[in-house]
Chain A
Amino acid sequence: MLKLESLWGEASQSRLHRSLIAAIARPGEVVDSVSWLGGRRAWLGVLATLADGGTTLHDLHGLIDERDWAMLGANRAGWGDAAFVLADAARAPADDLRLDRGSLIRPETGATLVLDCAQVGSGTGSEILRGPGVDGQRILRFDGIDPLWWRLREAHAGFPQGIDLVLCDARRIACIPRSTVLGGTTAGGGGR
């Protein structure tokens, strides 16, 4: 009999969804989802909660093994067309990487970029966040994000168009939606 890991069950995914809603509604707020990940990294929990056969996914750095591809059931697509793009944050994006940023008529088609980071919520890099969901400003700390990812986000920006970032480490999740304004960095490696 096929035995599924807890991550693929509704019980875990409904809790992960609430973690995601909390994180995307309050950009930069770090949520710990370790209880619902079944020992897997947080990016897989994010994809298991949001992706399925009704959407498209591109794995930029080959982080997803074949078994997890089969479990996700998401349709493979090129990075320019995919609704979800998964990448290793420590590796710099290619110069010509262009994701779907949506259109003025259909901005919701803008891609969700899921970055697998060394640390989220702590670390030497940081960003100052402002905008909807943030009371004044919030500082998000992290480690292991190549600075070019921030440049990629800027290159796609132009609200309501843009890309939405989900930063994940082994257990924690933080989000930076396109509506968030990044207001400079504090000192430390990995920041801009």
Chain B
Amino acid sequence: MTAASTSSTVSAANTGAGDHFGFLDAFAKRELRRASFKALCIPGYQVPYASREMPIARGFGTGGLQLSLSLLTPEDTLKVIDQGADDSVNAVNLRRFILATCPGVAATTRTTAASVIQTRHRIPETPLHAGQIMVYQVPFPDPLQIIEPSEAKRRRMHAEVDYARLLVRLYEDLVRFREVAITNRYPARVAGRYVIDPSPIPRWDLPKLNRSHAIHLFGAGREKKIYAVPPMTTVEPLAFSDVPFQVEAFTDDEGGRHRCARCGAGDSYLDEIVLPDGGRRWQCNDQDHCDSHREESLR
């Protein structure tokens, strides 16, 4: 065998040679797959991985993008949302990039039709089903980051289930504001062990993680961490026995609940929109939910 042929044989070794799908090289994908696998084995634990350079800047969803690219197959239907919208700049660009590098993958805005949903800051209002995988873009994966700057110390705290200072932080909020003032990234305990940062989803979305039918994978590209919540796994927001966790109420001046001005829904997470005349308007944050609800009400 010549030196050249030896070299070609070696370079063919498990490189996924012969076809290219999903932008990342086979070694990068395999590392992401190993990290995702271990993340599902240890629910809530942040598995380190070598985050790759992507054609978008870190902080714009590279962790979620890498996870999606490692997961997708040509049979998949993809939905990408940013703050509940399918047509925001971040979502549109990520979707366009994925579709360009993953031939065969279909795109949808319908939550129910998607097999993989990449998201920034929201979980869809429509209940997820068992065939779906949620991929989260995560800016800060560690809930302890707000109280401990050293990663080495934070790793030890997670290892020792030492979340006392996090509870103190919640207590300080209660003392100062009479309520926990964390509006998003609310810390939650997974399967009774690790506390996670569920990415900047609002408190409204946190109960949807609890015993969800879907697989939830969290990718932090800049921080080089992947963690997961398997299906049918308990996810409990940190709270005190006498001060239960609460979601946003969206109450109006009369004590009733604001409804979506577009579709009339009274059961969704709402955006408050300030009008030019100084008035206020409330509208569903989840675009697909709003569209579906509107279509149903017009029928």
Interface residues of chain A, those whose CB is within 8 Å of chain B, are: 2, 4, 8-11, 13-15, 17-18, 20-22, 24-26, 48-55, 70-73, 83, 103-105, 107-108, 110, 112, 131-135, 159-160, 164, 177-179
Contacts and interface: CB of A to CB of B under 8 A. Distances in A.
Given A17-B70, A178-B42, A108 B19 contact: no
A21 B40 contact: yes
16 contacts: A8-B14, A10-B20, A14-B21, A14-B29, A17-B70, A18-B73, A21-B40, A24-B230, A25-B40, A25-B228, A25-B230, A51-B14, A52-B27, A53-B27, A164-B37, A179-B43
Contacts of A11: 19, 21
B31 A108 contact: no
| Nearest 6 A/B pairs, CB to CB | A10-B16, A177-B41, A104-B159, A133-B230, A73-B13, A132-B233
B33 A132 contact: no
A112 B47 CA distance: 15
B66 to A, nearest CB: 14
Interface residues of B, number: 52
Nearest to B32: A17
Nearest to B37: A24
A26 B230 contact: yes
Interface of B: 8-10, 12-14, 16-22, 26-27, 29-31, 33-43, 45, 47-48, 70-73, 133, 155-156, 159-160, 190-191, 193-194, 211, 215, 228, 230-233
Contacts of A159: 42, 193
Contact of B73 (A15, A24, A51, A177): A15
Given A24-B41, A50-B37, A4 B71 contact: no
Contacts of B29: 10, 13-14, 17
A164 B10 CA distance: 30
Given A20-B37, A52-B26, A54-B31, 11 more contacts: A4-B12, A8-B14, A21-B40, A21-B71, A24-B40, A51-B14, A70-B10, A70-B13, A110-B41, A132-B43, A132-B233
Candidate in B16, B70, B71 with the most chain A CB atoms within 10 angstroms: B16
Nearest to B26: A10
B53 to A, nearest CB: 17
A131 B191 contact: yes
B45 A107 contact: yes
B12 A54 contact: no
A2 B4 CA distance: 13
B30 A49 contact: yes
A96 B18 CA distance: 43
A52 to B, nearest CB: 5
B8 A2 contact: yes
A133 B235 CA distance: 12
Contacts of A104: 159-160
A178 B191 CA distance: 13
Contacts of A22: 215
A132 B194 CA distance: 13
Contact of A133 (B27, B47, B231): B231
A8 B34 contact: no
A70 B9 contact: yes
A178 B193 CA distance: 13
Given A50-B33, A132-B43, A179-B41, A10 B191 contact: no
Given A50-B30, A108-B47, A160-B45, A21 B36 contact: yes
A132 B192 CA distance: 10
